Structure 1
């Protein structure tokens, strides 16, 4: 019984994480191999909305390019020696935007000067949308926070029994 209960708790937590936090995957530049010198990253970023929890996908040729998270000064001056984090792994790399703040990325190896740099402003997760008003009295929509509370109540009752 103990293993089943922990499995139930695990599944419940995963469901709550999926339901409560909506995140998006942004393909940087818009294409499969989009981290290259042919993309206007400022224009691309201006047409996107980034929220904490979202992911950036970088597709690129790893023998030619890199992805470095840098501070604003290094971004503006294309300095690739004092980076915060090297995202470069295999050419199809992801980075999660964990905090609402500005993020700066550049390509090393001299490509930043050719325009391979990205600055984005990450916003806090918006509150859950208001529940829809039912048009029929045959059913009732449960707000997301009420659904969460119902699941947690079920899990805690299962723990007690």
Structure 2
């Protein structure tokens, strides 16, 4: 492979890594401290759109509630043992949705039986040419990662080859 082809391959690889990805922070239940038994989490999640890379924010009283990532069966039966991951840290906790798949969360300590559980279905990140249109709710905040523009890198790359 010639030197020019090698640099072209490196350039394309860097471009693919620097494509700007949009992710959202979803406030579970819609409010600042809404991980509680007064929220209809099924209704909330049905009105949100989740993409891989998005974040869930759980605001709650950590002395009363917890957040456990569980499988579908544990979600449906409110089983808080043998969980996948304990998200609970300090009462204002986040969880990143890394893969396009369903995720299930419950509150332990018996609160799942009072409706404190949420299921979210995560979609693949849209292609960069497709504009991301977040659902306009008070519980979603768009977070944009910073990246160099393709035009700037293209100019730098062309100047390097000369």
Distance 2:130 2:116 in 1: 40
Distance 1:53 1:102 in 2: 14
Secondary structure in structure 2 of the residue aligned to 1:23: strand
The corresponding residue for 1:5 is none
The corresponding residue for 1:101 is 101
Number of aligned pairs?
131
TM-score (structure 1 length as normaliser): 0.73
Distance 1:148 1:44 in 2: 36
- 1:25 maps onto 2:30 in alignment: no
The corresponding residue for 1:139 is none
Secondary structure in structure 2 of the residue aligned to 1:113: helix
Larger RCO (alpha carbons 8 Å, 6+ apart): 2
- The Cα offsets for residues 72-101 of structure 1, whole Å up to 9 and x where unpaired, read as 011011111111100000000000000000
Distance 1:77 1:130 in 2: 39
Is the strand fraction higher in 1 or 2?
A: 2
- 1:34 maps onto 2:31 in alignment: no
The corresponding residue for 1:70 is 70
Secondary structure in structure 2 of the residue aligned to 1:95: strand
Distance 2:92 2:78 in 1: 22
Secondary structure in structure 1 of the residue aligned to 2:43: helix
Distance 2:159 2:87 in 1: 43
The corresponding residue for 2:11 is none
Distance 1:113 1:156 in 2: 59
The corresponding residue for 2:124 is 124
Secondary structure in structure 2 of the residue aligned to 1:24: strand
Tell me by how many angstroms 1:127 deviates.
1.4
- RMSD of aligned C-alpha atoms? 2.4
Distance 1:128 1:57, change over 3 A: same
Secondary structure in structure 1 of the residue aligned to 2:23: coil
Query: Unaligned 5+ residue runs, structure 2?
Result: 1-13, 132-147
TM-score (structure 2 length as normaliser): 0.72
Tell me by how many angstroms 1:68 deviates.
0.4
